[in-house]
Structure 1
Amino acid sequence: MHACILGAGIVGLATAYELQRKGWRITLIDAQTQAGMGASAGNGAQLSYAYVQPLADPAIYGQLPKLFCATDSPLKFRLKLDPHQWQWGLSFLAACNAQRSHRTTAELLTLAASSRAGYDSMLANTGIACDFAQAGKLVLLPDTTAMQSAQRQIDLQASLGAPAQSLLDADAAIAHESALAGYRHQFAGAVYTASECVADCLSVCQGLVTHLQAGGAQWLPATQVRALLAEGGRIKAVRTSQGDIEADLFVSALGWQTPALVAPLGIRLPIYPLKGYSITVPVAAGSTAPLVSVTDSKRKVVFARLGDRVRVAGMVELVGNDTRLDPSRIDSLRHSTRAVFPGLAFADGDDLQPWTGMRPATPTGLPITERAAGHPNLWINSGHGALGFTLAFGSALRIVQSLE
């Protein structure tokens, strides 16, 4: 049986990997010249299996005025004459209620647990070098209100079987990560999870392509996906810049571009791009850099140690298909890094590998991993938002298990 995977980000590659393990012949297609060069290339590098509070949460209502009005806000919304943007935004606000948030949390935890098992198995099987570490994670909380909200989330997740987490005051958090000492008076406490991990997603993607090719997969980089060709209620082929490619199974893992691909088939997907940014800071010898993964919930910025580098990522922009890199956002990440970790010296000055990418998100935060309506040999695997790396292998396993 032949499976054609559209998209060679971490989600598509995880799907290809799990299908190949089940004996499928794989064709992998991507528009970029290398694997993982879309949203996977510069993501936050955190594998957040335990603390999975969805973005669509009742607390967002209290934050919106500041998020919209502050000049340095991590949220940017550019209103467009786009019904899809309006529909997505209204659906997101409708999902910001306790009942929906609790249900999403439960589903994310289940998917994340499956994904962790899949990722760990893959890493043991392939030996890909990717700066993987189980470093633990601190989610910094700005005030007592945030601390109370976090305790409710910890209690909820504990009732759902999540890995152990603890709520710490600022001094206890610094005891876990001394590099935060210079930021002591900027946060009230933190959620600590010892089991959380980090890895370089781009290295994983490129290692997976090599592994898949060694197993007989056909890899077609620099190949544009133009259309899906349907016949008799099934997808017969995908039309590409290198010609039509037939297969028994098609999986669209094209991220934020998936809705446009399937729209001509009458399929409407609630996926919208949330633009994010990152820098990768080379650590100067002798400077104080974090070892524990850190998320600053006030700044909406994450920090992950990758060997002798620190990945700094953040921002949420709803700006349509504008993929341009905004230098002011890179400056903001640089400023946040110096503020949170004043003892961290940059080894290469301003060579920070600036990156921007489009994270495909659903209003609830749950990815779409299901068979396309009316086309039984077409599967959708997209909409993971900021959790694409975390959930990739769980999503892939869900599709593979549904085919058995």
Structure 2
Amino acid sequence: MRVLILGAGVTGLATAYLLAREGHVVTVLDAEPAVGRGTSQANGGQLSYSYVAPLAGPGVIGKVPGWLRDPDGPLRFRPRMDPGQWKWMLGFLRACNAATSEQTTRRLLRLAYLSRDLTREVVEQGEFGFDFSPSGKLVLLPDGAAVEGARRQVALQAEWGSEQRVIDRDECLALEPALAGIAHRIAGGVHTESEEAGDCRLFCEGLAATLAASNHAVTFQLGTRVLQLIRAEGRVRGVRTPGGVVEADAVVVALGAGARPLLRPLGIDLPVYPLKGYSLTLPILRDDAAPRVSVTDSAAKVVYARLGDRLRVAGMADLVGYSREIEEGRLSTLVRQAREVFPHASDWTELNPWSGLRPVTPTGLPILGAAPGTQGLFLNLGQGALGFTLAMGCAAVLAAAIEGRAPPIPLDGLGL
């Protein structure tokens, strides 16, 4: 089958990788001049298979007003004349309850564990490196209430296969001595030994290079914009680009937040909106002052991951539209927060700042599988901050859907 994949980020490339192994003729098309240059370029770097609870949780609504009043807060909302933004917000508020959050977490864990197994297969094959590290993850908790909430969440997730433990401050510092400077801010933590880290852009480049060097029938059309999906007699036939028509038997849309305008003419209104995030990538100049374990500061909503000899810092969730422009105020906040936690890890002169648009659904569940109303059209988007984590699992779901096979996991809640 001729399969056209729109999007050369980690979700699109993982799908191409699995489909090519099954013998399909695959074309990957992206507007960027190279693979992994959108949201996959400089994300948080954490492969977070057990820490997948959605942003829409039962306690979030009460925190939102404080976050919005705080210029340094992790969440920012800028109202726009965009019905899609307001529709997304209403859906998000409806999802902020315990029942929905628990259901979403269970479904995401199922998908994440599938993805973990498939990602580890890629690692074990050793075809390329991407600064992968089985480092484990430590989530820092600021107070007793957060610790008790974490105990409940860990107990709940244990019923679904997670292996995590709540630890006290001394255990946190023993696990990660580089946190000694903020010991007074740590009430405890959640340690998940099975979590991993890696450079998502290098993972994308490795997948693409492996496909290009193999005997699989894979081609890349980079620097090519999609102008229109072509549909005839109820079936997708390909896409129109500035260079002409690219025909296909099946089309996979893996364009993240950019998929909405492309699908709207087909009557598909995606419940996806971008949450803008920021990251820094610092050279590690003092090995003992940088974390070995991936760290999440749950109060500030900032993550830290060691990628070889670099430290990736990522945070912020700005519901402000589609601009990827780096705002100096937000960048300064992230630098200050990171410097307080790991002040001596770098000299803070080379920051390599970046911003990207995470495609998020109100519940936090991705949208996977066949699109309604059009044969041969498939969706793989809405993974939010878990794009790298879920990429291989989502690819397996898409490959099964395209081939008409039984899905590898139950798909309740993962359709449009």
Amino acid at match of 1:222: G
State the secondary structure of the residue aligned to 1:185: helix
More displaced, 208-217 or 362-371? 208-217
More displaced, 172-181 or 235-244? 235-244
Amino acid at match of 2:106: A
Shift of residue 44, structure 1, vs aligned partner = 0.2
State the secondary structure of the residue aligned to 2:396: helix
Shift of residue 242, structure 1, vs aligned partner = 2.1
Percent of paired sites with the same residue: 48
Deviations 1:182-226 (A, max 9, x none): 110012111000110000000010111111222331111100011
1:368 maps to: 367
More displaced, 3-12 or 329-338? 329-338
Question: Matched residues in 1 for 2:3 and 2:123: separation?
Answer: 23
State the secondary structure of the residue aligned to 2:227: strand
1:273 maps to: 274
Q: Are the equivalent residues in 2 in contact too, given 1:179–1:343 (CA < 8 A)?
A: no
Shift of residue 329, structure 1, vs aligned partner = 1.8
Shift of residue 285, structure 1, vs aligned partner = 4.0
1:41 maps to: 41
1:386-401 mapped onto 2 (5 Å cutoff): 386-401=385-400
1:338-353 mapped onto 2 (5 Å cutoff): 338-346=339-347, 349-353=348-352
State the secondary structure of the residue aligned to 1:225: coil
1:298 maps to: 299
Q: TM-score under structure 1 normalisation?
A: 0.97
Runs of 4 or more above 3 Å deviation: none
1:197-216 mapped onto 2 (5 Å cutoff): 197-214=196-213, 215-216=216-217
Question: Matched residues in 2 for 1:311 and 1:78: separation?
Answer: 27
State the secondary structure of the residue aligned to 2:139: strand
2:227 maps to: 226
2:85 maps to: 85
State the secondary structure of the residue aligned to 2:289: coil
Question: Matched residues in 1 for 2:127 and 2:110: separation?
Answer: 26
Q: Are the equivalent residues in 1 in contact too, given 2:127–2:210 (CA < 8 A)?
A: no
Question: Matched residues in 1 for 2:284 and 2:320: separation?
Answer: 33
Question: Matched residues in 1 for 2:119 and 2:3: separation?
Answer: 21
1:136-285 mapped onto 2 (5 Å cutoff): 136-162=136-162, 164-214=163-213, 215-285=216-286
What count of residue pairs does the alignment treat as equivalent? 401
State the secondary structure of the residue aligned to 1:389: helix
Q: Are the equivalent residues in 2 in contact too, given 1:224–1:240 (CA < 8 A)?
A: yes
State the secondary structure of the residue aligned to 2:398: helix
2:379 maps to: 380
1:60 maps to: 60
Shift of residue 376, structure 1, vs aligned partner = 2.0
Q: Unpaired segments of 5 or more residues in structure 2?
A: 406-416
Question: Matched residues in 1 for 2:243 and 2:117: separation?
Answer: 36
Q: Are the equivalent residues in 2 in contact too, given 1:140–1:189 (CA < 8 A)?
A: yes
2:74 maps to: 74
Q: Unpaired segments of 5 or more residues in structure 1?
A: none
Q: Are the equivalent residues in 1 in contact too, given 2:286–2:344 (CA < 8 A)?
A: no
1:118 maps to: 118
Shift of residue 65, structure 1, vs aligned partner = 2.0
Shift of residue 287, structure 1, vs aligned partner = 5.1
Shift of residue 126, structure 1, vs aligned partner = 5.0
Question: Matched residues in 2 for 1:213 and 1:130: separation?
Answer: 17
Deviations 1:322-370 (A, max 9, x none): 2211122222221111111133233xx4221110000000000000002
Q: TM-score under structure 2 normalisation?
A: 0.94
Amino acid at match of 2:240: R
